[in-house]
């Protein structure tokens, strides 16, 4: 899937970015269709109960175990990815190691839920779980790019496309 953007910007006398001609062409590669693992026709969901610093129990989840429905080309390394839900881009993400990120989305270990830096992964699995409950079609796409370009490419794509799940953050 090819995503193309053309924006014009320039800099003022202080160097502040106003308008510069920016062309962004991203050739995303289809990774796989994703589905929730089911047990006896029902989505196999899990919730974790954790204690916070005040010894109060909190529930994280529900989470689901995600499977790739077709042979996926294993893509690793840094890049930008997105989830296509019912033919609409729902979320853009960026990562340093795509294979590891996708693995974390597919099977949420309890240790991720306790770490504040991983709460976005847990939230994304919950969003995918809800999509699967609605019987939405979910596909994953990946665009490899150097870590130094990730923030810029990601920010431009979110700004242009305005995916609904990115806007919930």
DSSP string covering 85-97, please? ETTEEEEEEEES-
Q: Report the C-alpha gap between 120 and 169 in whole angstroms.
A: 9
Residue bearing tokens 């240790």: 111
Q: What are phi and psi of 102, to 5 degrees?
A: -65, -40
HSE, side-chain direction, 13 A CA sphere, residue 73: 10
pLDDT tens for residues 22-68? Answer: 556 778 888 889 999 888 888 888 877 666 666 665 666 788 889 88
Instruction: Identify the structural domains of the chain with CATH numbers, from first to last.
Output: 28-167 (3.40.1440.10)
Strands (DSSP E) along the chain, which ranges?
Answer: 2-7, 10-11, 17-19, 22-27, 29-36, 38-39, 42-43, 45-51, 57-64, 66-68, 79-85, 88-95, 138-144
pTM equals: 0.79
The predicted pLDDT at position 39 comes to 85
57-84 pLDDT per residue, tens:
566 678 888 988 766 666 789 999 999 9
Residue 6 pLDDT exceeds 70 = no
H helices present in 28-149, as ranges? 98-106, 110-114, 119-133
Give 131-168 pLDDT, tens digit per residue: 999 999 999 999 999 888 888 889 989 988 899 999 87
State residue 78's pLDDT score. Answer: 94
């Amino acid at each position: 899937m090819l995503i193309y953007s053309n924006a014009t910007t320039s800099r003022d006398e202080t160097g502040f970015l106003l308008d510069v001609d920016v062309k962004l062409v991203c050739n995303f590669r289809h990774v796989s269709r994703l589905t929730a693992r089911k047990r006896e026709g029902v989505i196999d969901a899990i919730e974790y109960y954790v204690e916070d610093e005040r010894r109060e129990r909190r529930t994280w989840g529900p989470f689901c175990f995600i499977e790739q429905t077709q042979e996926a080309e294993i893509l690793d390394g840094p890049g930008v990815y997105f989830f296509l839900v019912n033919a609409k881009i729902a979320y853009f993400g960026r990562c340093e190691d795509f294979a590891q990120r996708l693995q974390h989305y597919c099977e949420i270990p309890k240790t991720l839920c306790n770490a504040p830096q991983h709460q976005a992964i847990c939230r994304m699995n919950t969003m995918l779980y809800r999509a699967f409950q609605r019987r939405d079609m979910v596909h994953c796409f990946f665009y490899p790019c150097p870590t130094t370009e990730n923030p810029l490419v990601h920010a431009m794509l979110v700004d242009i496309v305005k995916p609904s799940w990115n806007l919930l953050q």
